[in-house]
Amino acid sequence: MRSIDLEDEIKALILSKREDDYWDFKEKHHSNKANLLHDIICMANNRVDRDACIIFGISDGTFDIVGVENDENRRNQQQMIDFLKSKRFVSGIRPRVEMRTLRIANHEVDILIIKNSTDTPYFLTEDFSDNGRKVRANHIYTRVGDTNTDIDKSADILSGDDEITREQIAGRFCSLFFFEEGQDSAINADC
């Protein structure tokens, strides 16, 4: 996405004064890494089939642009990638992310873009904890409207508000169970 297109889209999202399926505002970068991981997984598993973004430097309640230039927890793209690489995701496949910084209203605003993928749903095979918060193994987290699946719950499959489609589950597990060690690609199977 070109910078000018991204800037226009982010400005429009800020002006909407709301959050939704594929975007979330944060006043500051996460101080708790479990909360960061949970937010990334929820956004990566969004139901609208598009790139998602966490926009840092926007006040949650007022949607004022406050910037992140003095944020002690600020992370760059490589730090985000390294953070995700250190987590145990099913099949070793983790969300792809890109960090961009825009200058809006004389402030730096960071945008963590979580790339759309056919590898959903993403979930951990090992719990990850930080300061009393735990992202649980084998829990599927998603985002519906402006709400993430609770960190201590898993999204429902075809029921309730956190619906994950059977096609997403079947496609992901088909590739997991029909992959032979040492092969470069999955065995062709009817799933």
Listed by start position, the domains of the chain span: 3-156
Distance CA 56, CA 60 (A): 10
Distance CA 60, CA 91 (A): 35
Nearest CA-CA partner of 10 in 74, 71, 63: 63
* Average pLDDT score, the chain: 86
Average pLDDT of the residues in 29-51 = 96
Give CATH for domain 3-156: 3.30.950
Report the predicted TM-score, pTM, of the whole model to 2 decimal places: 0.83
Structure confidence by residue, pLDDT tens digits, 144-173: 999 999 999 998 754 444 455 545 554 554
Average pLDDT of the residues in 58-73 = 96
Residues with Cβ within 8 Å of residue 108, at least 6 apart in sequence: 57, 67, 68, 69, 101, 102
